[in-house]
A and B are shown apart, each in its own frame.
Chain A
Amino acid sequence: MTASSSCSSSHPGLNLGAAHGQAHEDAEPVMFGFWIFLMSDLVTFAMFFAVYATSLQATAGGPGNADIVDVTSIALQTGALLVSSLLFGIATVAMKHGSAARTVILWLLASLALGLCFLGLELRDFIVAAEKGAVPMRSGYLSAFWALVGLHGLHVAVGSVMICVLCAQIAIFGFASDVKTRLLRLGLYWHFLDIIWIGIFSIVFLPGLLT
């Protein structure tokens, strides 16, 4: 590896490298800008976590944490998100190293499928919780719970839509330089949602198993 290519590792996420010309030159400022957005999103999530932590006792006699945690479902959701993140990483590596558009789209669709598995399981958990009377209107605690977990689910849903949009853009425009940097930014977003999920299962779900 030459000195110039080691310096080319200049922004978060996978770096395309100098061989990608325009796309690589464009990447640094737009990736840094997107990174600032992600960090402000992290602050938003942190405040939802803070509200959750302060409402733990505010169950008003309704269902608490232990009543609504389904650990098998949470483990499956965690696995789906992790594998989805790995597949997205493989898709970006394939793009970087000149794989065909069709190959990259297939990896992205595999990643999307697991994202949708996650959403399906989460939705099922929400429905089961609602059937037990654990609706957001029941107590302060449940409002905070639905807001925090729901906000993450909403992010995953938006990310899933964006994966479809990016697949369409790759199919229509091929790997134009702005399509490449968009895919890199979506990668940051998708990996970032995993980090939020670590907080959710460690702070919200697993302590609910405490006997």
Chain B
Amino acid sequence: MSEKDQRARDLRMYFTGFAAAVTLTALSFLTAILQPFGPVGLFATLGVLAIAQVIVHFRFFLHIDLSRQKREDLQLILFTVLIIAIMVAGTVWVLGSLMTRMM
């Protein structure tokens, strides 16, 4: 592959990511402004769109993929996500429960 092709391929990665990110962001804002689904539906839609956009950013801007060379980086991300899930879910659960008992 020539140098020029390689450069075009690298740039295409960023532009693809940018287009996907803009689309997902626009969908999030439209859902929040128009509110077609009610409160629970809004939170669910925003959650799904946010996770999709986080994956797009990791894939196209930070170049994390499933290849063997990126395995350690992916494991680091997934372990961090596990730690975060335990700490955040634990905090929200414990303090949320405390709040309802104090009401």
Question: In whole angstroms, how far apart are the Cα atoms of A79 and B28 in the complex?
Answer: 13
Name the interface size band of chain B.
35 or more
B25-58, CB under 8 A of A: which get 1 and which 0?
Answer: 1001101110100010011001101100110011
Question: In whole angstroms, how far apart are the Cα atoms of A7 and B68 in the complex?
Answer: 9
Number of A-B contacts (CB under 8 A): 135
Contact assessment for A97 and B76 in the assembled complex, using a CB-CB cutoff below 8 Å: no
Which B residues are CB-close (under 8 A) to A125? Answer: none
Contact assessment for B25 and A82 in the assembled complex, using a CB-CB cutoff below 8 Å: yes
Is the CB of A194 closer than 8 A to any CB of chain B? yes
Which B residues are CB-close (under 8 A) to A202? Answer: 28, 46-47, 49-50
Contact assessment for B50 and A198 in the assembled complex, using a CB-CB cutoff below 8 Å: yes
Q: How near does chain A come to B89, taking the closest CB pair, in angstroms? A: 9
Question: In whole angstroms, how far apart are the Cα atoms of A39 and B53 in the complex?
Answer: 18
Contact assessment for A39 and B77 in the assembled complex, using a CB-CB cutoff below 8 Å: yes
Total interface residues on A, using CB and 8 Å?
53
Q: Which of A71, A82, A96, A195 contacts B18 (CB 8 A)?
A: A82
11 interchain pairs (CB within 8 A)? A1-B1, A9-B63, A15-B63, A35-B76, A71-B29, A79-B22, A89-B61, A93-B11, A199-B50, A202-B28, A206-B32
Q: Name A residues whose Cβ lies closer than 8 Å to a Cβ of B.
A: 1, 7, 9-15, 17, 32, 35-36, 39-40, 42-43, 46-47, 49-51, 53-54, 57, 71, 75, 78-79, 82-83, 85-86, 89-90, 93, 96-97, 188, 191-192, 194-195, 198-199, 201-203, 206-207, 209-211
